[in-house]
Chain A
Amino acid sequence: MAYNFSQNIWKNALLSSNHGAWALHRTISTTPVRNRVSVGRYKPLEGRKQLLTYDQAIKPHELAHKKSWNTWNTSTLEGGRRSQLTTIEDMFIRRFIHGAWFCHIKGQQIIIKRQHNIIRIAFCLPKKLPPQSVYFITGFCERLLSIWLHCPVKLEIQAVENYEGYVKIV
Chain B
Amino acid sequence: MSLLSFPKMPLKGFKPVRVQLVFNHVARLASSKSYDPKSHDESEFRQLEIRPVRRDRKTSSKARMMMPRDYKRTNNIDPDKADWKSIWPGPRSFDPNSIPIPVRQGRLKPYRRAFDKYANMELMKIPSFFHIPPTTIKAQCEAIKSFCTPFPNQLNSKEKCEEHFPLTVITNDYLHSAPTIRDPLARIVTIKLKLKNIPLDEHARDKFMRLVRDRYDDKTDTLTIVTDRCPLRKQNYDYAQYLLTACFFESWTVEDWESEKTEADMEKYIWENNISAKALASIVKWSPDKLGKSIFHDTLPADELKPEHLVLGAAVKKVIEGETEEGIEEYKKAAMEVLLSKKAVGLKA
> Do A and B touch, yes or no (CB under 8 Å, in the complex)?
yes
Q: Which residues of B contact A82 (CB under 8 A)?
A: 176, 178, 180
Distance A164 CA – B116 CA, assembled complex (angstroms): 11
| Bound-state Cα–Cα, A120 to B126, Å | 12
Q: How many residues of B contact A (CB 8 A)?
A: 27
Contact yes or no, B121 A107, CB < 8 A? yes
Most buried by B among A122, A150, A164: A122
Chain A residue contacts of B136, Cβ below 8 A: none
B231 proximal to A (CB < 8 A): no
Smallest Cβ-Cβ distance to B184: which chain A residue: A81
Contact (Cβ within 8 A) A109 B178: no
Q: Which residue of B lies closest to A152 (CB)?
A: B179
Interfacial residues of chain B within 78-99, with CB under 8 A of chain A in the complex: 91-93, 95-96
Instruction: Collect the chain B residues with CB atoms within 8 Å of residue A120's CB.
Output: 91-93
Contact B119 A86 (CB under 8 A): no
A57-B108, A122-B124 known; A158 vs B95 contact (CB < 8 Å): yes
Residues of B within 8 A of A75 (CB): 176-178
Q: Does B145 contact A (CB under 8 A)?
A: no
A55 at the interface (CB under 8 A from B): yes
Q: A29: which B residues are within 8 A, CB to CB?
A: none
Question: Scoring A residues 130 to 164 as 1 if CB is less than 8 Å from chain B, else 0, what string do you get?
Answer: 00000000000000000001110000101011001
Residues of chain A having any CB pair with chain B under 8 Å = 53-55, 57-58, 66-70, 72-75, 79-82, 86, 106-107, 109, 111, 113-118, 120, 122, 124, 149-151, 156, 158, 160-161, 164-165, 167-168
- Interface SS of chain B: loop
- B152: CB under 8 A from chain A? no
B:120-153 near A, CB below 8 Å: 120-122, 124-127
Are A150's CB and B176's CB within 8 A?
no
Question: Which residues of A sit under 8 angstroms from B119, Cβ to Cβ?
Answer: 106, 124, 158, 160-161, 164-165
B7 within 8 A of A: no
- Kindly list chain A residues whose C-beta atoms are within 8 Å of the C-beta of B93: 111, 113, 120, 122, 156
Q: List 28 A-B contacts (CB under 8 A).
A: A54-B108, A54-B115, A54-B121, A55-B121, A55-B122, A72-B125, A74-B177, A75-B177, A75-B178, A79-B185, A80-B176, A81-B183, A106-B119, A106-B121, A109-B121, A111-B93, A111-B124, A111-B125, A115-B127, A115-B177, A116-B177, A117-B178, A118-B91, A122-B125, A124-B119, A158-B96, A158-B119, A164-B118
Bound form: Cα–Cα A167–B106 in Å: 10
Give A109 to B126 CA distance when docked, in angstroms.
14
A124 touches B108 (CB 8 A): no
A149 touches B176 (CB 8 A): no
> Is B246 on the interface with A (CB-CB < 8 A)?
no
Indicate which residue in B96, B121, B126, B127 contacts A53 across the interface (CB closer than 8 Å): B121
CA distance A167 to B108 in the complex (A): 8
Is residue B53 contacting chain A, with contact meaning CB distance below 8 A? no
Given contacts A81-B183, A82-B178, A158-B95, contact A54 B122 (CB under 8 A): yes
B108 touches A168 (CB 8 A): yes
Given the interface pairs A54-B106, A167-B108, the reply to whether A150 lies near B125 with Cβ below 8 Å is no
Q: What's the minimum C-beta distance from B95 to chain A, rounded to whole angstroms?
A: 7
A118–B178 Cα distance when bound, in Å, is: 8
- Asked if B175 is an interface residue, CB under 8 A from chain A, the answer is yes
Find chain A residues with CB under 8 A from B174 CB.
79
CA distance A120 to B124 in the complex (A): 11
Q: Is the CB of A69 within 8 A of B108?
A: no
